[in-house]
Structure 1
Amino acid sequence: MRGGAAYPWLVADVGGTNARFGTVAGPGAPVEDVRVLPVAAHAGPAAAVRAYLEGQPGRPRPQSAAFALATALDGDRIELTNGAWCFSRAGTQAELGLRTLLCLNDFEAQALSLPRLGAHQRRAWGAAPPAADGLATGAVLAVIGPGTGLGVGGVVRAPGRWLALPGEGGHMTLAPADDFESAVLGHARREFPHVSAERFLSGIGLPVLHRAVAAVLGDGREGGEGAAALPAEQIVARGLAGESATCSRTLDVFCAMLGGFAGNVALTLGARGGVFIGGGIVPRLGERFFQSEFRRRFEAKGRFQPFLAGIPTALITDTLAALSGAAMALEQAEA
C-alpha cells in the first residue's frame, strides 16, 4: 500500500440534500460510525467533516478520505448539481490535513458497492442477481438511483478489480411509451425545453410529473396552485394512502417510466449481470413498486424483450451502500 493508505479512512456519500459520513478502521473493516448531516446546514465538505469528527472525541483523525459526490467531476473545482456546496478538492484536502482525498461521482461509488452487496441489502424482482464473484471478466452491473436527482452508473469486472463507469445518464432525454405519457411529456415541455429523465424520475422531478399528470387528467383542483405547491414527500404519501387519484396515477407513471428508462440503461451498458435500483424514493414505495409496471416496461423493447427478460433487477434496500463503494474506490486506488 502507498503512503496515503494509513488508517482510519473517512468515507462520504454526498447528495443534494444529505451527506452521509462513516469511518473505516482498517483493511477489510466495515464502514462504521455512520452519521447523516444536512448539506444546507454546512458551508462545505470541510465544515461537515469537522462536525462529524466532533462527535468522535478521542478517535484518531482520518488519514485518507473518499467523497462520493452528486455531480459531474472535471478538475479541482467541484459544485454539487442539486446542492449548495462549491469547493476546491485540493483546498479541502489541505484544510482537513488528509494525505489522500479521492473525489468520485456518487453513482461511481454506488456502482462499486454492487459487487459486495449481500442478500440482506437488496430485494430482487423475480430471480436474484448472480453472485458477483462468479461473473466473468467483462461482465457489467448497472445501478439507477432516483433520489434528489437521478443517478446512473455501471461497473465492469476486470482482472483483479472492478472498474466503475461514471456518467450523467439521468440527464438523457426521457421517452414516452404511450399516448398518455406523450401528453404528460408535452405538458412538461411547456415549462422545460428539454425533459430529461431526472425532470420526472427524482425528488425534484416528482412535482413536475405530478403537475403534468394533473393537467392531462384535467384535474383543475390538483392541476392548479395545489399541484404546484405539492412536494415529492406529499405526492408519495398521498398516493400510497389513496388520498389522491392524481398522486396515485403519478406514482404509477413514475414506476412505469423508471422501468422503461432502466431497460434503456441495461441495453446501453449490456448490463447482463443485473440492474439495481438505489436512491431514496423507490424504497418508500414498498409493495407498490413491486406491483407496478416497472418490470414489464423494463422488458418492453420489441425484438430485444428476450435479452432483457434474462437480466435480473433488484432494489437496493441498504441506503448506506454507497459508503462501501467509496471505501472500495479508495482501497483500489491505494493498492
Structure 2
Amino acid sequence: MNMALVGDIGGTNARFALWNNDRIESVQTLAAADFPTPEQAVIHYLSTLGLAPDSLSDVCLACAGPVSGEDFRFTNNHWHLNRTTFRQALQLDNMLLINDFTAMALGMTRLREDERIQICPGEPESDSPSLVIGPGTGLGVSTLLPQGNEQWKVLPGEGGHVDLPIGSLREAALWQQLFGELGHVRAEDILSGSGLMRLYRSICALDNHAPNLTTPAEVSTAALAGDPIAEEVLQLFCVWLGRVAGNNVLTLGARGGVYIVGGVIPRFAAFFQTSGFASSLSSKGCMSGYLKGVPVWLVTASYPGLEGAGVALQQMLEPA
C-alpha cells in the first residue's frame, strides 16, 4: 500500500498523520474551529508537509458518531462531510470513513507492552472477543474480534448508553438523585468527563455539602490530595466503570481481555489501580468465576485511534 492519510476527528480536535510502511508519522493536531471544512483542514495539514492536495490516493478518517450513508455530520463541531465532495477535493481513489471507537478498537492490535498497564492479571483467550471501553467526552464501547491471519473485525455499538447498573444501597440513593435530574440514567451520564462532575454534584446534594469544585480536573486533583468527597466520587466512578465493563464481558464473552481507553482514567492511573474497579468488574454473583482470569489493561498509547485508522485502511486495501 502506498503512503496514505489517516485522521481521528473528535468534537474539538482533528488529529492527522501519514500511514507509511505500516506505521504512523508526522502526527499533527488541529483545532476544528480553525477550519470551515474537514477538506480544508486536510489540505492545510498536507501543505505543512510540503504535499499537494492530490499527493495521496487513500484516506481513512475515524469520526465520532454513527457512520453510514453519503453524508456525515459531526456531533460536536460545525463540520459536515460529504463523501463525494471530499474525494473530489483531494482527488482520492479510496476513502474509508469509520466510527472513532472502531478505530480505537483496531488500535489495540498495535499496542506495545510499554503502552499499557495491567490492572487485572490473566491470560487472554486468543480466539475470543476483547472489550474496548473508555470514558472521555462520552463513554465509548466496542468489541474486537480476531478473524485469523492477523485480520480483525470490530463490532461498533452504543454500549455507553446502557442503563447505569446499581450494586449497593449508596449507589441506589445516588441513582434516585440522578433520576430526579435526568429521568433515564445511562452509564455515560456518569462515566464521562461531564459525568464525573454530575456525580460530584449528586453526592454533594445527597449529603448536603456545598459543591466548591467546578471541573473534572479539580475533582481528580482534590481526590488525590485526600479530599473525602472528591475521593468518594473518584472511587464510585471506578466502581461503576468496573460494573459496566463486567456486564459487557458477560454479554460478549469477552475473554480476550478488556482495554480501558480514553482520556479520563490515565489522569489518575495509580488511584485506578488500587480502586474498587477490579472487584466490581468480577462481582457477578453466581457468574463471578467467569470473570476471574480475564485480563484488563489501562491503555496509555498516544495515538491509538490513528493507528487503528491505518489498520482499517490496510485491511481494506490489502485483505488477507
Partner of 2:91: 97
Partner of 1:321: 304
Partner of 1:18: 13
How far did 1:282 drift? Answer: 0.5
Partner of 1:273: 256
Alignment equivalent of 1:135, drawn from 104, 126, 134? 126
Could you say if the C-alpha distance between residues 83 and 237 of structure 1 is closer, same or farther in structure 2, counting changes exceeding 3 Å? farther
What code does the residue aligned with 2:73 have? E
How far did 1:200 drift? Answer: 0.8
How far did 1:288 drift? Answer: 0.5
Partner of 2:283: 300
The alignment partner of 2:102 has SS state of helix
Distance 1:325 1:129 in 2: 23
Cα deviation digits, residues 15-66 of structure 1 (max 9, x gap): 223222111123x3x1111112233333332232223223212578322111
Could you say if the C-alpha distance between residues 107 and 58 of structure 1 is closer, same or farther in structure 2, counting changes exceeding 3 Å? closer
Partner of 2:137: 148
What code does the residue aligned with 1:157 have? P
- Please state if 1:41 is matched with 2:30: no
The alignment partner of 1:40 has SS state of helix
What code does the residue aligned with 1:278 have? V
Distance 1:271 1:322 in 2: 21
How far did 1:72 drift? Answer: 1.2
How far did 1:128 drift? Answer: 5.6
Could you say if the C-alpha distance between residues 82 and 202 of structure 1 is closer, same or farther in structure 2, counting changes exceeding 3 Å? farther
The alignment partner of 1:310 has SS state of coil
How far did 1:127 drift? Answer: 2.2
Could you say if the C-alpha distance between residues 306 and 16 of structure 1 is closer, same or farther in structure 2, counting changes exceeding 3 Å? same
5+ residue gaps, structure 1: none
Contact 1:129/1:313 (CA < 8 Å) preserved in 2?
A: no
Alignment equivalent of 2:191, drawn from 192, 201, 205? 201
The alignment partner of 2:275 has SS state of coil
Partner of 1:75: 69
Distance 1:81 1:178 in 2: 35
How far did 1:240 drift? Answer: 2.2
Could you say if the C-alpha distance between residues 38 and 239 of structure 1 is closer, same or farther in structure 2, counting changes exceeding 3 Å? farther
Distance 2:251 2:37 in 1: 35
Cα deviation digits, residues 297-317 of structure 1 (max 9, x gap): 000111111111121100011
TM-score (norm 2): 0.92
Could you say if the C-alpha distance between residues 309 and 269 of structure 1 is closer, same or farther in structure 2, counting changes exceeding 3 Å? same
How many residues matched?
316
Could you say if the C-alpha distance between residues 248 and 72 of structure 1 is closer, same or farther in structure 2, counting changes exceeding 3 Å? same
The alignment partner of 2:194 has SS state of coil
The alignment partner of 1:191 has SS state of helix
Could you say if the C-alpha distance between residues 51 and 187 of structure 1 is closer, same or farther in structure 2, counting changes exceeding 3 Å? farther
How far did 1:129 drift? Answer: 5.1
Could you say if the C-alpha distance between residues 82 and 260 of structure 1 is closer, same or farther in structure 2, counting changes exceeding 3 Å? farther
Partner of 2:111: 117
Distance 2:61 2:51 in 1: 23
Could you say if the C-alpha distance between residues 77 and 271 of structure 1 is closer, same or farther in structure 2, counting changes exceeding 3 Å? same
Q: Aligned Cα RMSD in Å?
A: 1.9
Distance 2:6 2:154 in 1: 17
- Runs of 4+ in structure 1 off by over 4 angstroms are none
The alignment partner of 2:254 has SS state of coil
The alignment partner of 1:204 has SS state of helix
Partner of 2:271: 288
Contact 1:17/1:148 (CA < 8 Å) preserved in 2?
A: no
Distance 1:193 1:90 in 2: 41
What code does the residue aligned with 2:220 have? V
What code does the residue aligned with 2:12 have? T
- Please state if 1:234 is matched with 2:218: yes
The alignment partner of 1:209 has SS state of helix
How far did 1:84 drift? Answer: 3.7
Identical residues among aligned pairs (%): 36
Distance 2:241 2:277 in 1: 7
Alignment equivalent of 2:48, drawn from 55, 60, 72? 55
The alignment partner of 1:98 has SS state of coil
Alignment equivalent of 1:264, drawn from 241, 247, 254? 247
How far did 1:170 drift? Answer: 0.8
Distance 1:80 1:129 in 2: 38
Contact 1:11/1:326 (CA < 8 Å) preserved in 2?
A: yes
5+ residue gaps, structure 2: none
